[in-house]
Amino acid sequence: MRTLSLPLALTARISPVVVLAAAGWVLTSGPAATPATQKESAPPSADQPSSDGGASAAATTKRYSAAPAPCGSIGAATIKSLVPGAKTAGKEIPSTDPALRRTCSWNALKGYDYRWLDVSFEITESEAEAAKSYKENITAKSGGGTVPGVGDAGYSVVNLTTEDKQQTREGVVMIQASNALVTVTYNGSDFESKKAPATDEINKGAIKAAKEAVAALESGQKA
């Protein structure tokens, strides 16, 4: 039997082991690695909102007191569209402080096409703290573009990773909404062609999920 492992950048996120019996392929979990990565800019848009004299007021602003249920933040139709074959209920990742940090993940392999999506909510002590973390996060993931009209500030970046000739394209969308941070990660691979989905497909999918996640945050419990 021939064995093929998922790219290491993906395997750390997949549990339990998925077996493709028909094709004779075995996908196993493993430690994350740092493969060759190509930065891809998201479509440019309006400039991010700047911080100014309102910083002192923002420092004490705390609109949200708890993270919403992450697995209910994305609609079933969106899950079926972005992650074909995945259970729409998702799987919540254990957190040391579920009141402040909650994450849900969906992944599925349909035929040879693999998709993975997660959404994460983090509640900080103030709007200023959230804004600081947001700026640090987007600086660490340079090469993207702003996402207007969602929360107080939004950013999207798409990267292409190639390992053992297998491509994986991953989009990350980060949103700051008052004292909350919402992060959506969406990626995909085709294990037959070894090609990755188009940049536009991944970018738009991640942004769509982010918009729904922020809407769920805004409609939930507030401080």
Report the 3 state secondary structure along 90-150: CEEECCCCCCCEEEEEEEEEECCEEEEEEEEEEECCCHHHHHHHHHHHHHHCCCCEECCCC
pTM: 0.75
Which pLDDT does position 38 carry in this prediction?
56
Ranges 59-73, 87-101, 179-193, most confident = 179-193
Mean per-residue pLDDT for 114-140? Answer: 97
92 vs 31, more confident = 92
**Which residue is associated with the tokens 């402080």?**
97
- How confident is the model at residue 220, as a pLDDT? 78
Please report which confidence band the pLDDT of residue 60 belongs to, taking 50, 70 and 90 as the band edges.
low
* Lowest-confidence segment of 1-10, 24-33, 176-185 by average pLDDT: 24-33
Compute the mean pLDDT over every residue in the chain, rounded to the nearest whole number. 81
pLDDT of residue 172: 98
User: Do 194 and 167 form a contact (C-beta atoms < 8 A)?
Assistant: yes
Please indicate whether residue 105 or residue 4 has the higher confidence score (pLDDT): 105
Residues whose CB falls within 8 Å of the CB of residue 98, separated by 6 or more in sequence, listed in order? 67
What share of the chain in percent tops pLDDT 90?
68
Q: Which of 42, 43, 79 is nearest to 160 (CA)?
A: 42
pLDDT band at residue 39 using 50, 70 and 90 as cut-offs: low
pLDDT digits (tens, 9 = 90+) for 147-203: 999 999 999 999 999 999 999 999 999 999 999 999 999 999 999 999 999 999 999
